[in-house]
Amino acid sequence: MRVLSGIQPTGRPHWGNYFGAIRQYIDLQTDNQGYYFVANLHALTTVRNREQLSRLTLDAAIDLLALGLDPQKATLFVQSDVPEVSELCWLLMTGAPMGLLERCHAYKDKKEKGLAADAGLFTYPVLMAADILAYDAEIVPVGVDQVQHIEVCRDLAGSFNHEFGEVFVLPKARVLDSSAKVPGTDGEKMSKSYNNTVQIFEDPAVMRKQVMRITTDSRPMEQPKDPDSDHLYQLFSLFSAEAPRQEMAALYRRGGFGYGQIKKALADAAEAYFAAARERRAYLVSHPQEVVEILADGARRARQKAQEVLRRAQKACGLAVR
């Protein structure tokens, strides 16, 4: 199966990003043909500083490589390095109903809050559709909040196919497993919006301080506790193998411990879990040319596929006269 996923370069990845999405779609590279891109065109709707966008774009690529994306198995590239996608976006835009785009969550929510919304945000789902259709993607791993955009993509592709023939592959959403809750430092869902995140590649000493500040309740040490309802245990479970997880659960049910003990164990487990990725990232940061070459090779391969699909669409709608 051909799988496609993009990541916006709008900030450093945190534990919630990894367990909620990144780990899952990187796993898909093993038995599928994967296309993974850094969505810098999409990021322009929020990042308006040249140096910051350039830096975040390279950082996002480094982060994906460090976390296990293998350029020998998957195609990694920067969105703007495939200009065919922008042209394909226009072809789709000419048939995109205004009402369809007005109902999309990102635009609708911003308007309802009285915030300014630009044309980039309004047409964001069309560019996302072009990202998907340009590579004949069959599977798109997304969170529940992004399923609507896949439905929009299918609507636009289906309408184009109806008018001009079978040009586009209709993709299917694969909803990412959200059963493993990733609590933030305040116990709520980890999110940049809540300012409660712990970054994956944070300095270990800083990470430990953040973990030690995680909010806990005031139950006495000797009181037994239900591990499944405790956010510290939920976080520890993400980083631990079955045996230490069961030992920790037994400790909770037995009681007689302090939350500081659990926080230390969590920090130790998190540091060990990401140690190899942190080492890979340090190497890539000190060898940026290797990353640039990986992205250039990925863009070359991505463009080959996107050119094929764009040419197909151009011929179908009458733009290609030769």
Q: Look up residue 197 and give its amino acid.
A: T
Alpha-carbon distance values, 225 to 154, 171, 248, 267 (Å): 47, 45, 11, 20
Alpha-carbon distance values, 242 to 5, 209, 239, 248 (Å): 30, 26, 10, 10
At a CB cut-off of 8 Å and minimum separation 6, what does 256 contact? 221, 222
* Residue 39, Ramachandran bin (φ over 0: left; ψ between -120 and 50: alpha; else beta): beta
Catalytic residue annotation: 110, 189, 192
Q: Which of 37, 41, 42 is nearest to 76 (CA)?
A: 37
On whether the CB atoms of residues 6 and 75 are closer than 8 A, the answer is no
Q: How far apart are the C-alpha atoms of 172 and 205, rounded to whole Å?
A: 42
Q: Look up residue 130 and give its amino acid.
A: A
Residues paired with residue 175 on neighbouring β-strands, in sequence order: 142
Inter-helix orientation angle 147-164/84-93, to 10°? 80
Q: How far apart are the C-alpha atoms of 250 and 243, rounded to whole Å?
A: 11
Q: Is the dihedral of CA 14, 19, 20, 24 positive or negative?
A: positive
Q: How many CA atoms lie within 13 A of 55 on its CB side?
A: 8
Strand, helix or coil for residue 306? helix
Quote the DSSP letter at residue 14.
B
**Max Cα-Cα span within the chain:** 80
Residues paired with residue 78 on neighbouring β-strands, in sequence order: 38
